[in-house]
């Protein structure tokens, strides 16, 4: 299977040839370290990034299109999308912020939390504006080759939702569901990213129309195995490997951790392996190569 075919199979809950690998962030510094030099320009940066992902077998190409909501789709984001869609076989994902992130950028964290606590009507209006803009941004991105729009909105922390779930169901999720419908109207698949303990909100994420959920943060008590049992066939799960483990565990411990995530995610579709929040420049390439070998073996064992 090509990376695109592999990811599509996982999203459709069909068995891929091996578990797909996707990372929210693959820092350019990792590709530069592999090449032993810095890129000369933006195009070479993308080429080096592609070569790194091809070597490791990272199937998703994630383009941060975060500025698209406020200012329309930026030319730089469109160039990256067209490169990955036309000059690679990776499955192309656009990362866009959701309503809480929009409100945070406008109000600041302190004022956002104050308004969340008071459940003020202004927030619902901001959520609606953000999610309408998100749906508009999806059009040109999907036309350029994006297959998945991932809404990144940390709506929870380690103790649970940032706001009363009843309030979020009334003020946040209805307009978010409209954005998901907008993505679908352009032929895209919608995924949702949030770190933290989402236990009380997963059903709402499914009801909003999302096909995939990213992070599944074990450090916040999210159980990949339990979510798979409950949502298999309804929600593709993504992530779950703790970045701290990737950075600090010895070789045997890292291999054990990766194999445990793969076992809990299961290779029969509905799961895309990765860290919970993306890679950092500090990750050693040999550690990523070890992960790649485990993933390759997940296919041979299947």
**pLDDT tens, position by position, 80-132:** 999 999 999 999 999 999 999 999 999 999 999 999 999 988 899 999 999 99
pLDDT at residue 6 is higher than 60: yes
- What integer pLDDT is reported at residue 301 of this predicted model? 54
Question: Quick one: pLDDT at residue 302?
Answer: 47
pLDDT on residue 70? 65
Give yes or no for residue 73 having a pLDDT over 90. Answer: no
Q: Chain-wide mean pLDDT for the chain?
A: 95
SS3 letters across the chain: CCHHHHHHHHHCCCCCCCCCECCCCCCHHHHHHHHCCCCCCHHHHHHHHHHHHHHHCCCEEEEECCCHHHHCCCHHHHHHHHHHHHCCCCEEEEEEECHHHHHHHHHCHHHHHHHHHHCCHHHHHHHHHHHHHHHHHHHHHHHHCCCEEEEECCCEECCEECCCHHHHHHHCHHHHHHHHHHHHHCCCEEEEECCCCCCCCHHHHHHCCCCEEEECCHHHCCCHHHHHHHHCCCCEEEEEECHHHHHHCCHHHHHHHHHHHHHHHCCCCCEEEEECCCCCCCCCHHHHHHHHHHHHHHHHHC
pTM for this predicted structure = 0.96
pLDDT digits (tens, 9 = 90+) for 177-200: 999 999 999 999 999 999 999 999
CATH of 3-296, picked from 3.20.20.210, 3.40.50.1820, 3.90.1150.10, 1.10.150.120, is 3.20.20.210
Averaged pLDDT, 165-173: 97
Cβ pair 53, 20 in contact under 8 A: no
pLDDT of 300 strictly over 80: no
CA gap 222, 237 in Å, rounded: 11
Q: Model confidence over 224-272: pLDDT tens digits? A: 999 999 999 999 999 999 999 999 999 999 999 999 999 999 878 999 9
Could you report the per-residue pLDDT of 37-62, keeping only the tens digit for each? 999 999 999 999 999 999 999 999 99
Domain ranges in the chain? 3-296
């Amino acid at each position: 299977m090509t990376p695109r075919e592999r990811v599509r199979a996982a999203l459709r809950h069909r068995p891929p040839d091996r578990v797909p690998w996707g990372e929210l962030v693959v820092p350019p510094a990792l590709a530069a370290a592999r090449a032993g030099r810095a890129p000369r320009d933006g195009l070479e940066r993308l080429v080096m990034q592609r070569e790194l992902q091809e070597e490791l077998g990272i199937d998703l190409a994630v383009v941060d299109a975060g500025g698209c909501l406020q200012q329309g789709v930026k030319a730089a984001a469109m160039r990256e999308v067209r490169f990955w869609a036309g000059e690679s076989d990776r499955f192309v994902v656009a990362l866009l912020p959701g309503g809480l992130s929009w409100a945070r950028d406008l109000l600041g964290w302190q004022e956002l939390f104050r308004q969340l606590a008071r459940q003020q009507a202004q927030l619902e209006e901001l959520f609606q504006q953000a999610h309408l803009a998100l749906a508009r941004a999806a059009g040109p991105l999907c036309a350029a080759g994006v297959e998945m729009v991932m809404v990144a909105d940390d709506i929870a922390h380690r103790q649970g939702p940032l706001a009363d779930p009843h309030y979020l169901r009334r003020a946040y999720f209805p307009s978010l569901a409209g954005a998901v419908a907008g993505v679908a109207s352009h032929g895209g698949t919608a995924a949702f990213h949030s770190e933290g303990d989402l236990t009380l909100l997963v059903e709402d994420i499914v009801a909003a129309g999302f096909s995939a959920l990213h992070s599944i943060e074990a450090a916040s008590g999210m159980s990949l195995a339990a979510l798979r049992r409950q949502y298999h066939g309804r929600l593709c799960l993504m992530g779950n490997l703790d970045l701290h483990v990737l950075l600090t565990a010895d070789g045997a411990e890292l291999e054990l951790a990766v194999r445990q995530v793969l076992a809990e995610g299961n290779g029969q579709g509905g799961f895309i392996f990765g860290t919970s929040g993306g890679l950092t420049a500090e990750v050693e390439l040999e550690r990523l190569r070890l992960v790649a070998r485990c993933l390759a073996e997940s296919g041979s064992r299947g």
